[in-house]
């Protein structure tokens, strides 16, 4: 079965490739698209009164009607390519027809998007709290954090060395949310943060449409800026630019102010500063000096002002309106470092050379080898995997004694495992398919024990994690680890639909509609008559409404496949009522699987789809906005190029940086 799956996958891959439509546009609509829609789709989508899923294909009279609606085109391509449509009970499309249709629709979408005049821009937005911390830290070259950041789930005890291209076999890490005193990192005394910025639904916490300002926040920024520069820890020992910026020069004090501000403002505002702006800040510092302030105090004052300026606080994309290499430099550094660009980036931008593909790739590689990459690892993977969900999951104590040790929980260790896997794949530039199925993992003694059914225990702070080979394919990868299995369960039982929705969202970037919640959650304990049913049977009895089937046919098999992992991620063959677990099912109506290993094989067979999905998450994070239909062709190209480079993680990151949505008009300018 596995071979057939792989074979049909390769054929599909060929079909889904970038082969342009074989027919001219008008022809394709008249000869293929319209007749196929009429034959196989309009019965439910537009003819008569039925317009299921708000998709009306009956009303489409020409290719132009379709081209006007890129969102619809994208929806159609997705539904057809994944064989979601037509549904099972309807006559299937011939393989050739489906393939041709997808190719033609993709071509239509490409043309539709290509004819759009302007690039999609992320709206102007303030930095989020994490970015603000990093930017302030980098601007002043602080050796400590600005304020405590629960955003970071992992504390690094010195293992993170991306410049070596290698993760050490043994690393020491701490769990910040659940470990002991993990939030107490060296930081500036007397500085209180503003509230954490929430994630967007199915998105990240850097989204432009979510990051706005209010008097409440503005006041935080004003007070923060003062408390930072006036912290007792803000001194020559912890501030790297103390001597070059804050320390009074021996002579020519006034001249020094302007010279120092020129460099400082350039870094804070991420571009060469114009004279008017420079004069404004210089005059301010001068006024402080005139009023009798000491040099250092005056420079503290002006520095506080600088980090309240919108030129510092706000990120913006100018797109067609004069975007330049400086914008690109910021986009790149906020993508991979969650912070302001450094001198090499700014110098290249000043020379107008950053947009040159070779230079850009060299910079991406440099950023990927810098320790500031940890910020990317502290934000993207945990949000991609939605790992914060594990913080609030507490299994029922009575049935899960082994989960608890002292005041701690096994989840403290669990959450670190997928994060360390992600970091390894990134730092060692491994194929992203290892995120689905890896032959190694990083585990603490607790976790090693745990997977063997042992009890939790161990140190609560700097926990040693060892790289261990994973020979049992039931383990390995970000899906079947104890963290994800635990956080997608309730305190007493697994939640297959939650797991399925997690998988559809995270792995295939195809989040189901928000639960219409037309069906109740399963009661924690089955009612008497259901005691002998499996969870699959109980759920089936629960959801008999046909209008729910559309989504569930997609997400349920994904969740049921993971049923062998109990509510704390432990393997089980049988439920407590003695019934066998039935993990089997069909993925994308194409790959039959009987167990989790075959399921993983099926996922791997769809690795190109995973690559595109993962690229979508990454691109959305890089751009700070949700993706739209217009991004689809770029996403196709990113995925195809990464696939051609052996699915390597760094290749994918490079392709993101070289993509049209990321470069915006920098690319257009280069092409002019």
Partner 1 sequence: MTDISRRSFLRGATGATLALPWLEAPAAALGRLAKSPAKKMAIFYVPIGVVRRAFFPGEKEATLPKFRGFDEKNRIKGIQYPSGFSPIEWTPTLGPLKELQEHITFITGLDRTFQSGTDVHAQCASCFISSAAPFTIKTSAWPLDRTLDHLVADQAGKDTPFRTLEFSCNSHKDNKESIYFDNISWYGTGHVAPSLRNPRAAYRRMFQTSGNSQLRNITDLVLSDARSFQRELSSSDRHKFAEYFDSIRAIEERMVKLEKMRGELQKTPLDEPAEAYLPRGEYIRLMGDLMVTALQTGLTHVATLMIGPERWDTPYKYESLFDKPRNHHQMSHNQSKFVEDLEKVDHFHMEQFAYLIRKMSAVRESNGTTLLDNTILTYGSGLGDGATHQYTKLPIVVAGGRGAGLRPSGKHLNCSDGTPLANLWLTQARAMGLELPRFADSSGPISQLLG
Binding site for partner 1 (CB under 8 A): 121, 123-124, 150-151, 177, 195-196, 198-201, 205, 209-210, 212-219, 222-223, 225-226, 276-277, 280-281, 284, 301, 304-305, 308-311, 314, 316, 318-319, 321, 388-389, 391-392, 514-521, 523
Enumerate residues 6+ apart whose C-beta is below 8 A from 543: 519, 549, 552
In the complex, least distance from residue 310 CB atom to partner 1, rounded to whole angstroms: 5
Output 69 or 111, the one with its CB closest to partner 1: 69
In the complex, least distance from residue 502 CB atom to partner 1, rounded to whole angstroms: 13
Output 378 or 601, the one with its CB closest to partner 1: 378
Enumerate residues 6+ apart whose C-beta is below 8 A from 89: none
Structure-token pair, residue 482: 């104890």
Output 304 or 652, the one with its CB closest to partner 1: 304
Range 489-525 burial, b when 16+ CB lie within 10 A, else e? beeebbbbbbbbbbbbbbbbbbebeeeeeeeeebeee
In the complex, least distance from residue 388 CB atom to partner 1, rounded to whole angstroms: 6
Structure-token pair, residue 232: 């007792």
Q: Which residue has the tokens 């489906």?
A: 98
DSSP run (H or E) holding 537: helix 535-542
In the complex, least distance from residue 198 CB atom to partner 1, rounded to whole angstroms: 5
Output 26 or 523, the one with its CB closest to partner 1: 523
Output 27 or 324, the one with its CB closest to partner 1: 324
Task: Answer for the pair 468, 441: CB distance below 8 angstroms, yes or no.
Answer: yes
Starting from the edge strand earliest in sequence, which strands make up the sheet with 463-469, in order? Answer: 154-156, 170-175, 463-469, 440-443
In the complex, least distance from residue 529 CB atom to partner 1, rounded to whole angstroms: 15
Q: Residue 526, class by beta-carbon neighbours within 10 Å (0-12 exposed, 13-18 middle, 19+ buried)?
A: middle
In the complex, least distance from residue 438 CB atom to partner 1, rounded to whole angstroms: 27
In the complex, least distance from residue 551 CB atom to partner 1, rounded to whole angstroms: 12
Task: Answer for the pair 289, 103: CB distance below 8 angstroms, yes or no.
Answer: no
Output 34 or 121, the one with its CB closest to partner 1: 121
In the complex, least distance from residue 391 CB atom to partner 1, rounded to whole angstroms: 5
Interatomic CA distance for residues 526 and 524, integer angstroms = 7
Output 317 or 423, the one with its CB closest to partner 1: 317
Structure-token pair, residue 493: 């039982």
In the complex, least distance from residue 86 CB atom to partner 1, rounded to whole angstroms: 24
Output 49 or 214, the one with its CB closest to partner 1: 214
In Å, how far from its chain's centre is CA 651? Answer: 17
591: β partners: 587
Interatomic CA distance for residues 268 and 553, integer angstroms = 51
In the complex, least distance from residue 35 CB atom to partner 1, rounded to whole angstroms: 32
Task: Answer for the pair 420, 476: CB distance below 8 angstroms, yes or no.
Answer: no
In the complex, least distance from residue 224 CB atom to partner 1, rounded to whole angstroms: 11
Output 58 or 284, the one with its CB closest to partner 1: 284
Interatomic CA distance for residues 110 and 132, integer angstroms = 37
Query: Phi/psi class of residue 22: alpha, beta or left (left: φ > 0; alpha: ψ in -120 to 50)?
Result: alpha
Output 209 or 537, the one with its CB closest to partner 1: 209
Output 164 or 196, the one with its CB closest to partner 1: 196
Distance from the first to the final alpha carbon of the chain = 51
Output 439 or 521, the one with its CB closest to partner 1: 521
Range 387-401 burial, b when 16+ CB lie within 10 A, else e? bbbbbebebeeeebe
Interatomic CA distance for residues 323 and 330, integer angstroms = 11
Nearest to 146 by CA among 263, 53, 239, 62: 239
In the complex, least distance from residue 442 CB atom to partner 1, rounded to whole angstroms: 24
Nearest to 422 by CA among 414, 434, 405, 412: 434
Output 310 or 357, the one with its CB closest to partner 1: 310
In the complex, least distance from residue 316 CB atom to partner 1, rounded to whole angstroms: 6
């Amino acid at each position: 079965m596995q071979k057939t799956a792989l074979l049909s996958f390769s054929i599909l891959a060929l079909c889904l490739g970038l082969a342009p439509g074989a027919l001219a546009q008008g022809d394709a609509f008249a000869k293929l698209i319209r007749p196929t829609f009429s034959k196989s789709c309009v019965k439910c989508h537009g003819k008569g009164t039925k317009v299921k899923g708000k998709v009306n294909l009956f009303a489409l009279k020409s290719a132009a009607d379709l081209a006007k609606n890129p969102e619809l085109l994208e929806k159609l391509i997705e539904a057809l390519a994944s064989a979601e449509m037509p549904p099972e009970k309807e006559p299937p499309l011939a393989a050739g027809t489906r393939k041709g249709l997808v190719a033609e629709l993709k071509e239509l979408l490409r043309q539709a998007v290509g004819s759009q005049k302007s690039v999609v821009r992320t709206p102007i937005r303030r930095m989020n709290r994490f970015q603000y911390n990093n930017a302030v830290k980098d601007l002043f070259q602080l050796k400590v954090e600005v304020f405590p950041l629960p955003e970071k789930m992992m504390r690094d005890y010195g293992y993170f060395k991306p410049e070596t291209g290698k993760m050490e076999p043994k690393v020491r890490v701490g769990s910040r949310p659940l470990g002991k005193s993990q939030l107490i990192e060296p930081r500036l005394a007397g500085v209180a943060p503003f509230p954490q910025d929430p994630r967007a639904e199915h998105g990240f916490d850097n989204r432009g449409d979510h990051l706005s300002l209010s008097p409440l926040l503005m006041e935080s920024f004003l007070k923060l800026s003062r408390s930072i520069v006036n912290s007792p820890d803000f001194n020559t020992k912890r501030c790297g630019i103390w001597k070059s910026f804050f320390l009074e020069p021996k002579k020519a004090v006034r001249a020094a102010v302007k010279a120092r501000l020129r460099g400082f403002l350039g870094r804070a505002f991420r571009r060469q500063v114009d004279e008017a702006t420079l004069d404004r800040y210089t005059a301010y510092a001068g006024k402080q000096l005139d009023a009798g302030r000491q040099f250092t105090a005056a420079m503290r004052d002006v520095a506080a002002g600088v980090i309240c300026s919108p030129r510092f606080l706000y990120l913006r994309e100018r797109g067609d309106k004069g975007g330049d290499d400086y914008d690109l430099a910021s986009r790149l550094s906020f993508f991979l470092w969650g912070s302001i660009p450094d001198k090499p980036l700014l110098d290249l931008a000043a020379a107008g050379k950053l947009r040159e593909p070779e230079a850009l790739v060299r910079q991406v590689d440099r950023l990927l080898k810098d320790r500031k990459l940890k910020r990317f690892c502290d934000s993207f993977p945990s949000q991609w995997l939605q790992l914060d969900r594990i913080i609030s999951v507490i299994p029922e104590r009575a049935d899960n004694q082994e989960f608890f040790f002292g005041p701690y929980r096994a989840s403290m260790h669990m959450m670190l495992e997928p994060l360390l896997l992600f970091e390894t794949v990134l730092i060692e530039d491994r194929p992203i398919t290892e995120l689905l199925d890896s032959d190694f993992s990083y585990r603490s003694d607790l976790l090693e024990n745990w997977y063997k059914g042992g009890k939790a225990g161990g140190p609560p702070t700097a926990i040693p994690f060892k790289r261990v080979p994973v020979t049992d394919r039931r383990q390995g990868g970000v899906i079947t680890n104890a963290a994800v299995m635990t956080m997608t369960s309730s305190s007493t039982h697994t939640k297959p639909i939650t797991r399925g929705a997690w998988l559809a969202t995270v792995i295939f970037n195809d989040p189901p509609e928000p639960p219409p919640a037309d069906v109740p959650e399963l009661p924690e304990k089955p009612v008497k008559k259901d005691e002998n049913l499996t969870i699959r049977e109980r759920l089936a009895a629960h959801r008999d409404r046909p209008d729910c089937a559309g989504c569930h046919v997609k997400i349920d098999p994904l969740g049921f496949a993971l049923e062998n992992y109990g509510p704390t991620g432990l393997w089980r063959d049988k439920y407590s009522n003695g019934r066998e677990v039935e993990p089997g099912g069909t993925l994308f109506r194409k790959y039959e699987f009987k167990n989790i290993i075959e399921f993983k094989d099926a996922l791997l067979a769809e690795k190109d789809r995973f690559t595109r999905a993962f690229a979508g998450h990454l691109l959305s994070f890089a751009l700070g906005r949700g993706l739209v239909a217009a991004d689809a062709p770029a996403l196709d190209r990113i995925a195809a190029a990464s696939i051609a480079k052996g699915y390597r993680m760094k290749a994918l990151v490079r392709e993101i940086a070289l993509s049209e949505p990321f470069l915006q008009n920098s690319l257009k300018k280069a092409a002019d």
